Structure 1
Amino acid sequence: MKRGAAGAAGVAFAAMTTVAGAARASSGMDSPEIGVLQLGRGGAWVARADDPLAAYFNPAGLAAQRSGAHAGVHLMHLSQCFTRLGPDGRPVPPSVTSPIPAPGGEGGPDPEVCAAGGVFPNPQVAATFRVSDTLAVGVAVLGPHGVGQRSWPESIPYTHPTFGDRTQPSPQRYLLTSLDALIVLPTLSVGFTPAEGVSLGAGFIWGAAAIDFVNFSEATVSAGGDDFNAHRDLRTRVRAADLFIPGLVLGARWAATDHLDVGAWFKWQDAVRARTDLRIESRYWTPAGTRNEDPCGDEPPGCNVTDERNAGELRLQIPMEAKLGLRYHRPRAGVARAAEPRVRDPLADDLFDVELDFTWANNSAVDAIEVRFREGIPVRGTVVGFVPPNADVPHRWKDVMGVRLGGDFVALRDLLALRAGGFFETKGQDDADLNLDFHLGYRVGVGGGVTARVGPVDVSAAFQHTFFGALDNGGRGNIKAVSGAATAGYRSLQSVNGGRFESSLNEFGLSGTMRF
């Protein structure tokens, strides 16, 4: 009976997928384009690139900016719910003795379970420094456009038809219980104007990530669905860190005519490779399905806890990405040439602009998350239990294509601009491969925003709502929990992702950009 990486693998798997949030834009891993101006335009910004966040999103845009500093924050509220179903379309009970809801809902808990709500702050800072008429340097520190903290229940309450108020292990516990991720992408870039109307840019990314993740797994396999007692459920916590995830961004912008700009962007980033610390708690539930408060009894305290540093390594390939944008803008008649040659200021120079962007992400590079552990790590509290050396988790993602449309209208020259936009991104996975780390259904976003100029500072606000196409496999999922049973290939007999996964995202952004 080899056990172990069940939790370790599942945890590690989602943890590393979270790191992949560093592969932003249309990658299918997060809502596109962080930044308040970008949010209000539906992410259609690569050809405009007019604030210091261009250091990451199109460094060519730095060459047309005045020196300045930028600070912003997104306040994000992500709603997610999962309904666990078996192949027959009925709720999956946590044990052979647990009741399941009758058609009217009586007899067991609701099969739908939702993550805890709350607002997640996601900040950004950036700056642009003009070195000469043709050269500018930019720096940006930001994270993925996603929510780095999520909490799903370990247990859910219900009223048993015979025994009254009870709890039972939650139906999504093998996929995700909690996640706390800190991911930063410091980027240093340069923008250069080799010829009138043409700008080029390049930047170096020093990515870093620290992740703390919890889920459940099986110590042994047996028939009978998700029987927590027969499977000897294990609670597993993985902490992982990769402090150097190098990458690069390349950008270009061309003023094809007085009214049309063309922008392009490409990003490559190395794979995430993180050493992991592993903590496993066995004997976690009582036979009734409640938390076991005395797992050791007469044995020494901690008899059920495995705490292993540098237990293994996680590896995740980060997809390449590219964007192409076309921006039509109408300059104001009679506006004098800028005092600084080649510097653009849409709030002063343009009446309006409209941009159309196309995006691509090589998500198909992520076929599986590699999760490998040292051989021979014993799992305390089990009979001859060991962490399996290979606990890879399949993902089978698909390339993601996207389109964005947005623009600004300058209501008051040099004082006030209004903007709106939206985006669409294609589905990035089959329903049978759904997981709770990221929602890769199709996505549609709509947003709007405003910028007010107060002296040297542009104050911007924006709101966006993102609709996610539900992933629903009718109870016939492909993902199996990692198990400690070598005879079963270290996988559960039953799939653990059958059902329906739904998400929606509301976010508000506020920023200030000072020019000097």
Structure 2
Amino acid sequence: MRRRVSAGAALAAVALAGAARASSGLDSPEIGVLQLGRGGAWVARADDPLAAYFNPAGLAAQRTSAHAGLHFMQLGQCFTRLGPDGKPVPPSLTTPIPAPGSEGGPDPEVCAEGGIFPNPQLAAAFRVNDALVLGLAALGPHGVGGRAWPESLPYTHPTFGDLTQPSPQRYLLTSLDALILLPTLSAGVTLAEGLSVGAGFIWGAAAIDFVNFSEATVSRGGDDFNTHNDLRTRVRAADLFVPGLVLGARWAATRHLDVGAWFKWQDAVRAKTDLTIESRYWTTAGIKNEDPCRGEPPGCNVTEEKGAGELRLPVPMEAKLGLRYHKPRGAPRAGRAAAAAPGVRDPMADDLFDVELDFTWANNSAVDAIEVRFREGIPVRGTVVGFVPVNADVPHRWKDVMGVRLGGDLVVLRNLLAVRAGGFFENKGQDDADLNLDFHLGYRIGVGGGVTARVGPLDISAAFQHTSFGALDNGGKGNLKAVAGDATSGYRSLQSVNGGRFESSLNEFGLSGTIRF
């Protein structure tokens, strides 16, 4: 029987980066600066051009306008590997937890490298007539598209000095660079006074470059992590057409109460994958192997395969329902443009304040696994009769996520200055035993605030939000097995590779400008 060698065992992040939306994946509700400052409670307000994606019915009450925004996102993540007894296990040749600086190896906790990730948004609204407004938005999902975890960790051996050991999370994730775009063309129509509907077409596109490790052979005794028979796998994938649609409605039920609703459907991500595999990556001591070929031709351990396989991930459906209470001003707003169309709203000029309550749902249970299939018979160089496994599916077993958001604005100076605040809660979307490092599906709590200053036709807005994630901790009893080159084990590792505790937090600052004509 031909032996199959692991390749691309944990391709989770390749497609999940494209699935992070309103309540799924990493999201901490909406992208957008006004939305950020209100805790995401915005579906019934929908008063800037980003409504083209987040509620196209809101376009119908907007003037011709253009919007540009930018989020600066800092994601902190740490993973602690735990043994089946729930005790931390350091990445070393010995498994008991050592004292700091002893020969047992590095600290069992490892953290992703920090940094600021910029996430931009562009949008515009074009008023065609009194009833019809067209909208165009180009934005990405509300997530961090670039992450890096260490491949190895340094420590000081009392006899041999400074050394390294392979990192404990390497089978889950070591690096991810993702570019996700969601260009959306929408229309909002006023059907009757106070009632509008909208629809939009999404042309999704994703390009992802992802690295992780997998097992070439399975250890029959002891700790698989310490055998160092690893393959470094790099996967590049692109899907330039992931179609979808958004539907929205907005109803001014009374003079004080608005109701908003939104629904999104998107096709599954389907991507061809290019594969690069490096074998003989570590020495037997767990140090990076600087001479893997040892007299053989350069590149003897590197496998390059274009179009090696296919990836498929269902994208969860989502829906939102919002109730917005607002206190209108008694007198007509000062300086109202005579040419403004009937039904145009301007909360900064028309209202004293507003408060919105939103309920959200994401059909995350559609993501049971990421399907990763490779062609039959791809040899892995630098191994003895090693082949890429045909089935490298990654189980995730996500659950539906429900959320609640509460936020509002206070107009401090009419037509000049408004402040806002808000927060949200979303329930846990994954069992601890199924945790992965691609996205954190523990419960999420976020709080934020913001401000808008109006200078003539230009609104300048800023916001900050902090999101806390409930830790996922399976006490060392994880369910995820790495793909491995052993048919007798079903081409999977004998022990779980996700046993441990995963913690995350997110801080972000946003700045935007909206000009109305």
| TM-score, L = length of structure 1 | 0.97
- SS of the aligned residue for 2:9 comes to helix
Shift of 1:470: 0.4
Q: Which residue of 1 is the match for residue 192 of structure 2?
A: 195
Q: Which residue of 2 is the match for residue 438 of structure 1?
A: 439
* Range 74-83 or range 97-106, more displaced: 97-106
Q: How does 1:27-38 map to 2 (within 5 A)?
A: 27-38=24-35
Shift of 1:108: 2.3
Q: Residue type matched to 2:285 in 1? A: A
Shift of 1:7: 3.6
Structure 1 residue runs of 4 or more that deviate by more than 6 Å after TM superposition: none
Q: Which residue of 2 is the match for residue 91 of structure 1?
A: 88
Shift of 1:90: 2.8
Q: How does 1:357-396 map to 2 (within 5 A)?
A: 357-396=358-397
**Distance across 2 between alignment mates of 1:230 and 1:378:** 22
**Does the 8 Å CA contact 1:3/1:218 hold for their aligned counterparts?**
no
Q: 1:102 to 1:229 in 2, by over 3 A?
A: closer
**Distance across 2 between alignment mates of 1:156 and 1:173:** 11
Question: Do residues 304 (structure 1) and 304 (structure 2) align?
Answer: no
Q: Which residue of 1 is the match for residue 8 of structure 2?
A: 8
Shift of 1:18: 1.9
Shift of 1:236: 0.2
**Distance across 2 between alignment mates of 1:404 and 1:54:** 17
**Distance across 2 between alignment mates of 1:229 and 1:133:** 69
Question: Do residues 483 (structure 1) and 484 (structure 2) align?
Answer: yes
**Distance across 2 between alignment mates of 1:128 and 1:309:** 42
**Does the 8 Å CA contact 1:228/1:285 hold for their aligned counterparts?**
no
Q: Which residue of 1 is the match for residue 97 of structure 2?
A: 101
**Does the 8 Å CA contact 1:28/1:425 hold for their aligned counterparts?**
no
Q: 1:258 to 1:343 in 2, by over 3 A?
A: same
Question: Do residues 503 (structure 1) and 499 (structure 2) align?
Answer: no
* Range 360-369 or range 106-115, more displaced: 106-115
**Does the 8 Å CA contact 1:82/1:499 hold for their aligned counterparts?**
yes
Question: Do residues 265 (structure 1) and 251 (structure 2) align?
Answer: no
Q: What does the per-residue CA deviation read over 1:32-81, in whole Å, with 9 as the maximum and x for residues that have no partner?
A: 10000000000000000000000000000000000000000000000000
Q: What does the per-residue CA deviation read over 1:242-285, in whole Å, with 9 as the maximum and x for residues that have no partner?
A: 00000000000000000000000000000000000000000000
Q: Which residue of 2 is the match for residue 20 of structure 1?
A: 19
Structure 2 stretches lacking a partner, 5+ long: none
Q: Which residue of 1 is the match for residue 143 of structure 2?
A: 146
Question: Do residues 399 (structure 1) and 396 (structure 2) align?
Answer: no
> Identity percentage over the alignment?
82
Shift of 1:100: 4.4
**Distance across 2 between alignment mates of 1:422 and 1:321:** 19
| TM-score, L = length of structure 2 | 0.97
**Distance across 2 between alignment mates of 1:346 and 1:54:** 15
**Does the 8 Å CA contact 1:100/1:109 hold for their aligned counterparts?**
no
**Does the 8 Å CA contact 1:408/1:418 hold for their aligned counterparts?**
yes
**Distance across 2 between alignment mates of 1:2 and 1:127:** 56
Which one of 196, 203, 207 corresponds to residue 206 of structure 1?
203
Q: Which residue of 2 is the match for residue 448 of structure 1?
A: 449
**Distance across 1 between alignment mates of 2:227 and 2:70:** 47
Shift of 1:445: 0.2
Shift of 1:92: 3.2
Q: 1:224 to 1:32 in 2, by over 3 A?
A: farther
Q: What does the per-residue CA deviation read over 1:490-514, in whole Å, with 9 as the maximum and x for residues that have no partner?
A: 1100101111000000000000000
Structure 1 stretches lacking a partner, 5+ long: none
State the Cα RMSD in Å. 1.4
Q: Residue type matched to 1:51 in 2? A: D
Q: Which residue of 2 is the match for residue 493 of structure 1?
A: 494
Q: Residue type matched to 1:488 in 2? A: S
**Distance across 2 between alignment mates of 1:164 and 1:259:** 71
Q: How does 1:47-446 map to 2 (within 5 A)?
A: 47-94=44-91, 97-98=93-94, 100-102=96-98, 106=102, 107-224=104-221, 226-227=223-224, 230=227, 232-336=229-333, 339=338, 340=340, 341-446=342-447
Q: 1:296 to 1:28 in 2, by over 3 A?
A: closer
**Distance across 2 between alignment mates of 1:244 and 1:225:** 46
Question: Do residues 469 (structure 1) and 470 (structure 2) align?
Answer: yes
Q: Residue type matched to 1:89 in 2? A: G
**Distance across 1 between alignment mates of 2:227 and 2:113:** 29
**Does the 8 Å CA contact 1:2/1:220 hold for their aligned counterparts?**
no
